[in-house]
Amino acid sequence: MSRRLFAEFLGTFWLVFGGCGSAVLAAAFPQVGIGLTGVSIAFGLTVLTGAYAFGPISGGHFNPAVSAGLAVAGRFSWGDFVPYVVAQVFGAIGAAAALWVVASGKAGFDLAAGFASNGFGEHSPGGYGLVSALVIEMVLTAFFLLVILGATEARVPAGFAPIAIGLALTLIHLISIPVTNTSVNPARSTGQALFVGGWAASQLWLFWVAPILGGVIGGAIHRAVFAERT
């Protein structure tokens, strides 16, 4: 278990540092910023590479919503759920701390600019409200779980699942960065919100509730409709 939890810690750290790091450090870099598309690709690449590196050890969840969805689908033990979530949250906080150290080394750095936090209403990049944020986070997380569960079925050729999962996360970010800055991962949201505080911390509840509900929905659909029968 200690090896599995450390793998989840490192995988979540990599996801947050790589994904949020691209948003904070590179998205709007003068004249050569990577923009929305680049940030979306970066998040996908962190999951793809992290799944290959740490997936054989822990299953490569890196996300409490994924752990919940896998448990509902019967692919993961509920008894391991809380330890996994704790490891994931600490990994995200560690990554946010490392990113803060790097970002604060630039003159004019201001946490109030958002620090890649998730938000709705006036804190949504596109000005989308609470209902929009709730629906898109639930729907996209549900489909993320359906991709994960489908790509990791025994009948699917081995070794390709991280590619499908990474591309799915890229697509998810391309869709929803304008709405919520894209969470679909409560741990990812928590690390950034703890540093920003204020509005980010007050809106954090949605980025736990919506992704967890979405993960549960996705896991339940797969178990009821698509799971292999023995």
The pLDDT of residue 113: 84
Under 8 Å between Cβ of 114 and 201: no
Total count of domains within the chain: 1
- Who wins on pLDDT, 107 or 39? 39
Structure confidence by residue, pLDDT tens digits, 196-214:
999 999 999 999 999 999 9
* CA–CA separation, 95 and 220 (whole Å): 31
Judged against a pLDDT cut of 70, whether residue 38 lies above it is answered with yes
* CA–CA separation, 58 and 61 (whole Å): 7
Mean pLDDT computed over 82-97: 98
3-state secondary structure of 62: coil
The pLDDT of residue 208: 98
230 pLDDT tier (thresholds 50, 70, 90): low
The runs of H, that is alpha helices, within 25-80 are 35-58, 64-72
Residue 71 has a CB neighbour count (10 Å cut-off) of 19
Structure confidence by residue, pLDDT tens digits, 46-85:
999 999 999 999 999 999 999 999 999 999 999 999 999 9
Q: For the domain that residue 170 is a member of, what is the CATH number?
A: 1.20.1080.10
Our CA angle for 77, 75, 159, nearest 5°, is 130
Under 8 Å between Cβ of 81 and 71: yes
User: Across the chain, what does the average pLDDT equal?
Assistant: 95
The pLDDT of residue 6: 98
- Helix axis angle for 81-103 and 64-72, nearest 10°, is 160
The runs of H, that is alpha helices, within 60-129 are 64-72, 81-103
112 pLDDT tier (thresholds 50, 70, 90): confident
The pLDDT of residue 73: 96
Tokens of 80: 């391991």
Structural domain boundaries enclosing 144:
2-226
226 pLDDT tier (thresholds 50, 70, 90): confident
Structure confidence by residue, pLDDT tens digits, 126-162:
999 999 999 999 999 999 999 999 999 988 888 899 9
The pLDDT of residue 129: 98
